[in-house]
Amino acid sequence: GLPRPRVVGGACNDKPSFAYNLPSMEDGSIQRVIKAMTPLVPRNYVIMEVKSNLVKEERMEILQRYNSPHFKKTALVVMGEPSEEFKQKTWNRILAEKQSKVDAEWKAKKAASQRARELQELRKKAEEQRRKKLEEARKKEEEAKKAEGGEDATMEAKDEEVKEEKLDVKEEEEKEDDGLGDEPPKAELTDEEKKKYFRNRQGIPDLAPTTLRKFLQQFSLPEKSEGWDDIKFAWDQAHSSRDYLRKWIVEAKRTTLIEDPQPSQTFTTKHLAWQKQHMDFQSKQNLWKAKPKKDEDAASIAAKANLDIFAVEDVNDIGDGEPLYAHFEPVDWALLFVL
């Protein structure tokens, strides 16, 4: 077999790395052959690509390759809350992985405790050997004194023998308890772990973050109009699944950096209309400035000074053909663009 390729930055389950050092795999030759041959061979095919299955244009492109009459094109939507069977299977796998880690930690601690006891036994034996050698040396010294001391030395020797007998009596030491027990503890799932319905053993995301940021706003569910013969919903039904995807996209937008954001069509249309209107305003302003002005009396000047701009019905004519923006400076036009 081939060794598992080394995981590099940006790796994802949807587009796994083909770093096997095999040219025909790394240059995409095998993938191109498969894409060319599968539409010709009538078999059951499952296309498991997260991003391509969520983007409408890519779904329709895939469907075009399987237009032969012997293919029934079925979309299986697995979205929303999983079934209880799926949840239990996921929890069992998470618990098994957790138990495996607990077992490994327990075995490591048990081995360390065993090594500590063995070292302690070795120290005790070494200390016992040292004590015996000291006792033997003391006995030899006492025997020499007895030979020289006579009867008094004999009485002292008897007292020493009694002491030696007491020293030779060993009490059985109780076996130390390491507190680990004979079996590893049983792992249990926390409330937070029970909220997980999916497990990601290697920590590799289904979609690369850059791909998610780029295509997030294009995600959608399949529809009959795309050319599907049948659309099935494994977990939540159609309405709930679409609502689930909508909420998921909204939540993802709050926490995901969107790359190359583009304005909506509504914004683009309104912006173009405003630019055209702005040019029209400036043209009318220039015409007004070029028009000969009449001398205004005090009443007209006062009326314009007290003009309620929010009550003006036509901004292009507030009286005598004068536009409301007749005296706008560049900074005033700039403020309009901001507003």
Could you report the per-residue pLDDT of 26-36, keeping only the tens digit for each?
777 888 888 88
Average pLDDT, the chain: 82
What's the confidence (pLDDT) of residue 27?
A: 79
**141 and 71 Cβ atoms separated by less than 8 Å:** no
| 114 shares its domain with 245 | no
What's the confidence (pLDDT) of residue 248?
A: 93
Among 261, 289, 304, residue at a domain's last position: 261
What's the confidence (pLDDT) of residue 240?
A: 93
Total structural domains in the chain?
3
pLDDT digits (tens, 9 = 90+) for 222-275: 999 999 999 999 999 999 999 999 999 999 888 887 667 778 889 999 989 999
Band the pLDDT of 45: cuts 50, 70, 90.
Answer: very high
For the segment 201-229, the average pLDDT, to the nearest whole number, is 88
Overall size of the chain counted in residues: 339
Q: CA-CA-CA-CA torsion for 261, 266, 272, 274, nearest 10 degrees?
A: -110
| 209 shares its domain with 76 | yes
Among 261, 294, 309, residue at a domain's last position: 261
What's the confidence (pLDDT) of residue 310?
A: 78
Q: Which of 3-7, 190-194, 207-211 comes out lowest in average pLDDT?
A: 3-7
With b for 16 or more beta-carbon neighbours within 10 A and e for fewer, the 173-182 pattern comes to eeeeeeeeee
What proportion of the chain, given as a percentage, has pLDDT over 90? Answer: 31
| 92 shares its domain with 225 | no
| 52 shares its domain with 113 | no
| 214 shares its domain with 68 | yes
pTM over 0.75: no
pLDDT digits (tens, 9 = 90+) for 136-174: 888 888 888 877 765 554 555 445 554 444 444 444 445
What is the C-alpha to C-alpha distance for residues 50 and 35, in angstroms, rounded to an integer?
17
User: Residue 50: how many CA atoms within 13 Å on its side-chain side?
Assistant: 14
| 76 shares its domain with 215 | yes
Among 211, 236, 261, residue at a domain's last position: 261
| 96 shares its domain with 173 | yes
| 106 shares its domain with 163 | yes
| 170 shares its domain with 22 | no
Band the pLDDT of 339: cuts 50, 70, 90.
Answer: low
| 92 shares its domain with 184 | yes
- Which range marks the domain in which residue 228 is found? 1-81+200-261
What's the confidence (pLDDT) of residue 162?
A: 43
Quick one: which of 9, 28, 10 has its CA closest to 18? 28
Residue 126 has pLDDT above 70, yes or no: yes
| 48 shares its domain with 188 | no
| 225 shares its domain with 280 | no
pLDDT digits (tens, 9 = 90+) for 102-125: 999 999 998 998 899 899 999 999
What's the confidence (pLDDT) of residue 165?
A: 45
Instruction: List Cα–Cα distances, 242 to 11, 80, 151, 235, 339, in angstroms.
Output: 28, 9, 110, 12, 35
**How would you write the chain as a 3-class SS string?**
CCCCCCCCCCCCCCCCCCCCCCHHHHCCHHHHHHHHHHHHCCCCCCCCCHHHHHEHHHHHHHHHCCCCCCCCCEEEECCCCCCHHHHHHHHHHHHHHHHHHHHHHHHHHHHHHHHHHHHHHHHHHHHHHHHHHHHHHHHHHHHHHHHHHCHHHHHHHHHHHHHHHHHHCCCCCCCCCCCCCCCCCCCCCCHHHHCCCCCCCCCCCCCCHHHHHHHHHHECCCCHHHCCCEEEECCCCHHHHHHHHHHHHHHHHHHCCCCCCCCCHHHHHHHHHHHHHHHHHHHHHHHHHHCCCCCCCHHHHHHHHCCCHHHCCCCCCCCCCCCCCCCCCHHHHHHHHHC
